Chains A and B, each alone.
Chain A
């Protein structure tokens, strides 16, 4: 009999990971952070351990405790930063395999067959690992379980802290849900300064679009809030139209937009890799082309 431990910090994460191991006979949940405070934990219909902390050291200790008691073959959760940190530490300690960014999963008697991105998602890998294994799944790759029932809830006391948390600083986020956007204007390092993004915002307004960005614009320069960050380590989006402006087309960026219906690239370098990954390309300086495009759209709107 295969047993699974689902680890997560929110109810949607937990429901999706439970869905990924739906065929497994025995499932228990470790709910940490805000999931541990969520009343709907009571309705998961499985045994739930709750941990009121997001400290990776505490998560490691809690996973360790459940692992020793239950001896699960599968430890599974979403690919979040805390899961990655805590579960890689745990996997290392026990020399367990840990496929990450998994998009499909087959549970066999002697191990797991899964697919995941490879080569910054220029390719896919199908691989197999033996039990016990830790698995981190891509968000929204699996069907969440809807089942409910009374859960048996047990609280675990946080322990095992090695690293000390001194302070938490909030990030300014826009709260925009890029995943739902129908049209996205993506901005990259072709923009020379923050104020120039106004051009992209003007275009977006005319098209009813949201503005997203490459990693350097959001994470490094902080010209946009980080929830605008698109790519392998940011958001994965699937708009009808993605307009990439001053973006070179690095595989890590394109991984986040590959489900777009139509991709338009505006770049002044005709050899930029993005043109091979776009439907329509405009080879032009964005500072010259965008004002013209904006004017044309305004004329058409009249």
Chain B
């Protein structure tokens, strides 16, 4: 019986962007959170577990540092993954691979699978993250391991050692079949994850969180991406709330403002 591996990204929270006085991004000041679509991946893993058995192992690779300052955020993300159904968490936190790049992250995930003795039937990955949105980790891992890769899955079913999935493309949907083990990237539409219950949160505190350094692992690539500049995109919008005693008055004001702006013609 194999394991279900779910990648969980401690991602910079784009709703809490912080800037420095010179307009560059203050990356170190932006808190980390469990990435949005990882919640879908974890929820899907719980469904698959009922068919596949085995355990759900969450793998987290810290890509934003400094590692010691991120320790609390990282523990919280791991804890949330455990509350959302993972049975154990494996965490790579090492300043030598921070800030991460996808080449490094994919190699660290594979190294962790080996080190932790996991034997995945399926590796679930979110289609994209909220901070980098490169949507490439799943494909990379499949490519490095030479495993079947199904991307953008909107529906998954496992039967008789095979996986059948609906792959969501721009203009159509493909129904695909692959042997296990396989790597699957999931979309936000695959399910509607429920927030963890109080009992799940309490149980999570007792589940194992294993930490690794790069020195504990084999074959972790060194980052090749060089960051040159990270700038906040400032949108200058008028931010005018239209006030009025009645909705009629507000509607009239809105219409005349839009006419003044020259964006509607009546």
Binding site for B on A (CB under 8 A): 56, 60, 80-82, 84-101, 113, 117-130, 162-171, 173, 183, 207, 215, 219-220, 226, 232-233, 240-241, 251-252, 258, 261-264, 270, 273, 275-284, 288-289, 292-293, 295-297, 300-301
Contacts and interface: CB of A to CB of B under 8 A. Distances in A.
Nearest to B262: A240
Contact of A128 (B173, B228, B266): B228
A297 B252 CA distance: 9
Interface in B6-64: 12, 14-15, 17, 25, 30
7 contacts: A88-B143, A89-B143, A95-B144, A120-B130, A170-B171, A173-B171, A295-B251
- Residue from A88, A162, A300 whose CB has the most chain B CB atoms within 10 Å: A88
Interface stretch (B65-73, B83-91, B131-139, B209-217): B131-139
Q: Is the interface of A mostly helix, strand, loop or mixed?
A: mixed
Give the one of A86, A95, A300, A301 with max B CB within 10 A: A95
Contacts of B247: 284, 288-289, 292
Given A89-B142, A93-B143, A277 B135 contact: no
A101 B133 contact: yes
B173 A171 contact: yes
Most chain B beta carbons < 10 A, residue from A84, A207, A241, A278: A84
Contact of B175 (A80, A119, A167, A252): A167
B131 A300 contact: no
Contact of A85 (B152, B178, B239, B254): B152
Interface residues of B, number: 82
A60 B174 CA distance: 18
Nearest to A226: B170
Nearest to A300: B266
Interface in B226-258: 226-233, 235, 237-242, 247-248, 250-252, 254-255, 257-258
Interface stretch (B74-82, B102-110, B115-123, B194-202): B102-110
A289 to B, nearest CB: 5
